[in-house]
Structure 1
Amino acid sequence: MKRRDLLKAAMASPLLLAALPGGLVSVCAAAARGAAGMLRSRVRPGDAGWPSVAQWDRLNRATGGHLLKPESPFAHCGIDGSDAACKEALQHIKNPFYIGDQPALTQTSGWADAWLSQPSAYAVAARNASDVAAAVNFAREHHLRLVVKGGGHSYQGTSDAPDSLLVWTRAMNTVTSHDAFVAQGCVGTAPQPAVTVGAGAMWIDAYDAVTTQGNRYVQGGGCTTVGVAGLVQSGGFGSFSKQFGTAAAGLIEAEVVTADGVVRTANACTNPELFWAIKGGGGGSLGVVTRLTLRTHALPEFFGGVFGAIQASSDTAYRALIAKAIEFYQASLFNPHWGEQMSLRGERVLRVSMVFQGLDKAQAEKTWQPLIDWVNERKEYAFVEPLKARALPARHFWDAEFFREHAPGLMVADDRPEAPRNRVLWKGDQGQVGWFIHAYQSIWMPASLLRKDRQSDLVDALFAAAGKWDVELHFNKGLAGGGDDAIARSRDTATNPAVLEAFALAIIGSSGSPAYPGMPGATVDIAKARDDAKHVSAAAEALRKIVPDAGAYVSESDYFQASWQSAFWGTNYSRLAAAKRKYDPEGLFFVHHGVGSEGWSADGFTRTT
């Protein structure tokens, strides 16, 4: 179950307002005018306005003693790493559950020439919405930089900032299923099956409760250790999004603490504009989501996957293989049954890592047999790994005990003795744990490229891009070809509307080993990172020649994304900016390339407009 192995990011210049499309310039200008006379800067430790010890103590009491002073476990490693905390961290450095339990660490250790994982000055280990509200009020009153972290998976460092106050929701992880849920204030609405999830829960928590234990399905993320709240707020895709829509589209109701410290309910009937904005508007920009209720679906009988790899003997044969793969995808896989990816890799290899729902093993094998026959009939191709279909009862897709018994090795468990036995992740996702990003880019690929008269252009662009760097096509991260209901519900979100017309998200990137500050043996070859970034950029530009105005997925995008407002949200940005002005007029909530961030310095401490 290999996903997102590589990353992306062209090292482009930071956004200049003058370069924005005309419509967005007016939005940004309006936001700047609205900021006149407001807070101009935030305080850091040592500044005159930094809270006193007595004031921090009052926050501690207000949050039930849950104020922490985070310290990296690598802070006292020294030369040999003999410190106990350091040794423990090194032992579990590839365990995402361990990293998520550390308030001072994030799942990504940094990004070349962009950011490094560094702890906040203080953190509130929130247990409920009241704790969150106390932290929000304290940050607002004392002009602090506020950061929110649940899963901590942000590639762009949005759940990380030195000199800040962290709202850490990890302990808010309760999962409750409902047979008949009705959103608050939505009188006359038909009850529906749903699940309510705390802001600190990971998707493995939700899948275990809803699917393994409850025999239903909730649309979430493919990586089991990603936080539920963060994925929903970023739009969110899982392996089966073409059938069930985005994670944001499944949101029925949320509890949100806004910048004024008020705990609000947001749904289609109560605070509807806030509700719409958090469905894909990006985490950490509009408030702190403390609880989410998501619709659940009837579970198909089977989930499964098809995996393998094909190698071509020449460039000419490789281009023909890419052409055949695109033709085959359009004819046989461009439907709600199929998700995940095909990737174009070095040595002229096409790797298949696809998953399916609603089919059995025999149906999946029948679907792929024409491509297998085509390869076997031609001497210029060889199966590096045979294409094989596997299926299992859908209820067991995230069942840790089932995999321990029937397929050991496909999932990796939390290796700590006290860990719950359901805490597992796909082995293919372990490479992302602690990684240091060199470069990462994503591009929505419109379904119009699958037309017979455009397939040659698409193939040429993919072949050219693959000649510069590895390229992945994530078919589940484009909703074109999906079910009507999935597309309709996803349309009513803040996510870039381009996703509705995209058949896939192209991802190109590069990364290195974990490199947390102070970690023994951690090194970043910055020359290599910058060189990788150039190649990633060149590969991405080969694709952009046929989709020059394509958007990008906010959670998997370039830290240096140009025109990020239109790339992430398209025509929805002006509406999001209006929601930001309504619910956070002073800009308390700041994240890199988040809604309203164009009015602040890169570190979020100084207002620039």
Structure 2
Amino acid sequence: MFAKPTDRSHHIDWSLLRSKVQERLIAVQSPLAAVADAGGAGSEELFRRIKNPYYLGDEPSLTQTLGWIDAWTSQPSAMAVAAESSSDIAAAVDFARQSGVRLVVKGGGHSYFGNSNAAGSLLVWTRRMDGMQLHDSFRGEGWPSSAPAVPAVSVGAGAIWGRVYDKVTRSGRYVQGGGCLTVGVAGFVQGGGFGSLSKAFGTGAANLLEAEVVTADGRVRIVNEHVEPELFFALRGGGGGTFGVVTRMTLKTHPLPSFIGASLFGIAAKSELAWRTLVDRILSFYSDNLFNSTWGEQIRFAPGRKLSIAMVCHGLDQNQVEAVWRPFLSWVAERPNDYALAGEPLLIAIPGSKFWDPASLRGLSGIVLQDDRPDASPDNVFWATNLGEAGQILNAYESVWLSKDLLRPHRRQSLADALVKASNYWPVSLHTNKGLAGGSTEALTATRRTATNPEVLDAFALLICAADAKPAWPGIPGHEPDIVRGRQEASHVTAAMAAIRRLAPNAGCYVSEANYFDAHWKTAYWGENYQRLARAKRSYDPSNLFHGHHTVEFD
């Protein structure tokens, strides 16, 4: 059943595929391999370029993450179909099925498990399929007459969120995508997909209205809740590149928030007692003021008794954002012997029409960075906070959903104790937008219909603990992965997560941000939805043409 051939690309006759897709079949040449073969010559310039996420996305041989210690290393495909249409993709799928060559799919290339690359494989590269179409009143294929038309946007599989946000917000609407501007839409939605405002608008998967997908038999299908609903369900959080190759998605749009705000600051506690008090204080403040559909993003607890706030809100103007935080910041300011702010807090509110506008973002020096290639579009911008992810090597990555019950007064002390203990080993972050408890009825109702683990509906946050390193690749002098350090940091992550798991021993996690080595991945990623996904997989891909690490029917 498991069609998992070894690298036999040198035995493949590519001429038949070339006759179908012509010049869109391209040989994949890795700049990393070229530098390694040259003994490291040119490595400094290459690794400088690798810190640019747009360069990584435009290079078919590379992935946004270059590997995971003791797990995988990014390897180039032998050939790629630089797809421009669903017929190109169907030709690639048919060829892979008939020849036995390994097939992988890449849009944005952000898979932490490395599922968008494989040595000697055939890559379906969707980067060129980035078209977008706005709909004032969208009705899906086969929808009953009773189903109302809704505003929507259709996007090609190669579109990235920064450009989709810009297109949609210029029309006065909002689409729920990811926080990172260079993440690909298709993989994001298939993994579930959380953005800063998911507590208000749900996951990316919850907003999917319809998809065009090429399945393992080479058929191009249109699927939605009324046409092939089981395949549609699987595409809404069942994992990217698992059930077929998505060529187009249509997503619901929402009224554009009047303002998008951000709150960024850090605090250091000067004693253990002050640290424990601060952790309890921020949890109480969050529960009373931020645990709602208005706020999302991160609260980070780090060694050295450091608290970092990076929260995003919608619908609040500048005065309102400042008013929300005033009691907490005043409490800190009144205790100079216990706490020190790491600079002046940044509290801002930007009109919703400007928050994803590249021209406006370019003015946020230090917060937003640009693609520095000479021929790059000035619209190629990205958040500075995502710079460290470009070309990263992962040493460890774990996540766990934390129930809203932990915010109750009688349980909050246990949560604070666990966070204090965990942060002695390694930083841990509460991603409050990746747990939907406290969110809008719309977000909860729509997400309940997706394949994402239902635990997300009860969770107030997804706790993430991860360790990464700068870009590296085996065989390049001065840029080899540091395996010893990587394993040491992984042990710190394990220790930190042990403190958290004692509080939530059987909690699930988010499939796109999970532990590569999780032995209980089926229930952790999808809970009660796994068996339904497995049935869809057996129905639409019985030979497991589309497979990767910890994908449905992986074993």
Fold similarity call, TM over 0.5:
yes
Mapped pair 1:51 → 2:9: no
TM-score w.r.t. the length of structure 1 is 0.88
Is the Cα contact below 8 Å between 1:240 and 1:338 reproduced in 2?
yes
Aligned to 2:360: 402
Is the Cα contact below 8 Å between 2:213 and 2:221 reproduced in 1?
yes
Is the Cα contact below 8 Å between 2:3 and 2:545 reproduced in 1?
no
Deviation of the 1:362 alpha carbon: 1.0
Mapped pair 1:273 → 2:234: no
Instruction: Give CA-to-partner distance per residue, 1:482-520, whole Å, 9 cap, x none.
Output: 000111001100000011111001111111110134545
Aligned to 1:193: 151
Aligned residues: 552
Match for 1:478: what amino acid? G
TM-score w.r.t. the length of structure 2 is 0.97
Give the whole-Å Cα distance in 2 for the aligned partners of 1:287 and 1:237.
22
Match for 1:44: what amino acid? D
Aligned to 1:312: 269
Partner SS state of residue 163, structure 1: coil
Counterpart of 2:525 (choices 559, 565, 568) is 568
Counterpart of 1:145 (choices 102, 118, 124) is 102
Deviation of the 1:121 alpha carbon: 1.6
Deviation of the 1:176 alpha carbon: 1.2
Partner SS state of residue 593, structure 1: coil
Aligned to 2:5: 42
Mapped pair 1:371 → 2:328: yes
Give the whole-Å Cα distance in 2 for the aligned partners of 1:183 and 1:564.
34
Give the whole-Å Cα distance in 2 for the aligned partners of 1:88 and 1:523.
16
Aligned to 1:225: 182
Aligned to 2:85: 128
Is the Cα contact below 8 Å between 1:440 and 1:558 reproduced in 2?
yes
Structure 2: which 5+ residue stretches go unaligned?
A: none
Instruction: Give CA-to-partner distance per residue, 1:286-326, whole Å, 9 cap, x none.
Output: 11011000011101110011111111111111011000010
Partner SS state of residue 565, structure 1: helix
Give the whole-Å Cα distance in 1 for the aligned partners of 2:365 and 2:476.
31
Partner SS state of residue 538, structure 2: helix
Is the Cα contact below 8 Å between 1:310 and 1:350 reproduced in 2?
yes
Partner SS state of residue 63, structure 1: helix
1:161-176 counterparts in 2 under 5 A?
A: 161-176=118-133
Aligned to 1:6: none
1:359-438 counterparts in 2 under 5 A?
A: 359-378=316-335, 379-404=337-362, 406-438=363-395
Coordinate RMSD, CA, aligned: 1.5
Instruction: Give CA-to-partner distance per residue, 1:35-56, whole Å, 9 cap, x none.
Output: 4xxx665253278xx423xxx1
Mapped pair 1:71 → 2:29: yes
Mapped pair 1:485 → 2:442: yes
Alpha carbons of structure 1 residues 46 and 466: separation in structure 2 relative to 1, 3 Å: closer
Aligned to 2:200: 243
Counterpart of 1:154 (choices 99, 103, 111) is 111
Mapped pair 1:543 → 2:506: no
Aligned to 2:398: 441
1:501-520 counterparts in 2 under 5 A?
A: 501-519=458-476
Partner SS state of residue 22, structure 2: coil
Match for 1:338: what amino acid? W
Give the whole-Å Cα distance in 2 for the aligned partners of 1:365 and 1:258.
50
Instruction: Give CA-to-partner distance per residue, 1:555-584, whole Å, 9 cap, x none.
Output: 111111120000000010000000001101
Partner SS state of residue 454, structure 1: helix
Aligned to 2:287: 330
Is the Cα contact below 8 Å between 1:236 and 1:246 reproduced in 2?
yes
Deviation of the 1:408 alpha carbon: 2.7
Partner SS state of residue 324, structure 1: helix
Deviates more, 1:214-223 or 1:406-415: 406-415
Aligned to 2:426: 469
Match for 2:7: what amino acid? R
Q: Comparing both chains, which one has the higher relative contact order based on Cα–Cα distances under 8 Å and sequence gaps of 6 or more?
A: 1
Partner SS state of residue 23, structure 2: coil
Aligned to 1:16: none
Give the whole-Å Cα distance in 2 for the aligned partners of 1:95 and 1:299.
30
Match for 2:530: what amino acid? Y
Alpha carbons of structure 1 residues 169 and 375: separation in structure 2 relative to 1, 3 Å: same
Deviation of the 1:368 alpha carbon: 1.1
**Percent of pairs with identical residues:** 50
Instruction: Give CA-to-partner distance per residue, 1:269-294, whole Å, 9 cap, x none.
Output: 11111111110000011110110000
Structure 1: which 5+ residue stretches go unaligned?
A: 1-34, 599-609
1:452-463 counterparts in 2 under 5 A?
A: 452-463=409-420
Mapped pair 1:202 → 2:165: no
Is the Cα contact below 8 Å between 1:74 and 1:518 reproduced in 2?
no
